[in-house]
Amino acid sequence: YSSSPHFKHCLIDELMELTAQSINHLEIQERFNVIKEIGRGKYGKVLLVTHRCRGTPMALKVMPKASTKLQGFLREYCISLHLSCHPCIVGLFGIAFQSKEHYCFAQELVIGRDLFAVIQPKVGIPESSVKRCALQVASALEFIHSHGLVHRDIKPENILLLDSHCQQVKLADFGLAQKRGTMIRFITGTLPYMAPELCSMALLDGQREVTAPPLSVEPSLDTWAFGVVIFCILTGYFPWDRCMDSDDFYQEFAGWCRMEQRSYTEKDIPPLWKKFTPEAMEMFGKLLALDARDRFSVGEVRGYMEMEWMKKTYPVQSGLDSSMEMRHKFIHFSPMGLISSNTSYVLSIQNPFIPAPALTLSDSFLSINLLTLCCSWLCADGRPAAAVRWPGVPQVLSGCDVS
């Protein structure tokens, strides 16, 4: 019973109620040193801050009260906190408060870029990197769905990279997340990633909130968006603008999906999809099934990891798979700058031969004569591996043997 979605929904409701009762009133500058703004959107902004007492670097999400309902803030914070134990989901510090004009909560600082920033237009990223990313996002989504929740905003901008080769990624932004089965009338989102059942509710003029007949929030919405993301990062372009009859590219794909006996021969595949292998098209056909009831769960993408996705006749970028066999190399650390008064530094890691580890910044990252680097990386199949620690002396800044 304790593992049922209903029980987990009750936990989130209870957490929201307790947070509402205990949320502190304070101004940001009372507890945090603001370093700079690192993100901005219609929700508000994200600030790089350090805790005044502990010196811990954090990402502080700041949402204006004028455009944010308290229940919406509580839902996002509590859902994020509830899920943050997963290694492929951005972590939280359990710090939430309100100032005179804002609601705020503190997240782990993810040093890196989002997935959208590394997609080369009309080229995409290497298939090996796509598969590593897909495995981790699928793991995060399975975890979310097992808790009876739906993310509802899966897109490259919400997938954060701890390195440029997708060795470790984290899913972020639970601002649109809802409990499974929630009936929605007002929808927001990014049209290319929205499933047909959502697009049928949307207006034709882009990303805006609309009134529509109620629709039940289901994991199949995330499955569709996940399939579109895989297409985008493999190719460097969208498969369509929106899933509507007025979109020719969508209609070509929908026509192929509706074939009584689906053909994987090149002449029958829609033009934008011809670079994919039959195995990849089978996977897309299941992730992007027109009927939400026919879509498979995101975890089933694992069954396609050993298969080729891109035809060899089409140019693709070379990956870094050989890196798993070349661990007797050096990691080079480059200080990127002082970020707090107690000598906490952000370090960049550059090495093309081994999986880039993910830095976890502790309260005192550097001491006088000892550096301890806490990092985690992924196994070759994309599953998170156990965390490791590399102790060393200051000479580690010029390289260390990780063999």
Active-site residue set:
153
Is 61 labeled as ligand-binding?
yes
Instruction: Give ∠ CA 116-78-362 in degrees, rounded to 5.
Output: 70
Alpha carbon 322 to its chain centroid, in Å, reads 26
Residue 7: how many CB atoms within 10 A of its CB? 12
Give, for 221, the enclosing helix (H) or strand (E).
helix 219-235
Q: First-to-last CA distance in the chain?
A: 46
β-partners of residue 316 are none
β-partners of residue 32 are 51
Spatial contact of 291 and 131, defined as CB atoms under 8 Å apart: no
Strand order in the sheet with 358-359: 358-359, 371-376, 388-392
Distance, in Å, from the CA atom of 278 to the CA atom of 342, rounded to the nearest integer, reads 56
Which residue, 195, 211, 299, 307, is CA-closest to 250?
195
Spatial contact of 151 and 123, defined as CB atoms under 8 Å apart: no
Residue 135: how many CB atoms within 10 A of its CB? 22
Alpha-carbon dihedral angle through residues 356, 360, 366, 370, given to the nearest 10 degrees = -70
Distance, in Å, from the CA atom of 110 to the CA atom of 312, rounded to the nearest integer, reads 35
Question: Binding site for ATP: which residues?
Answer: 61
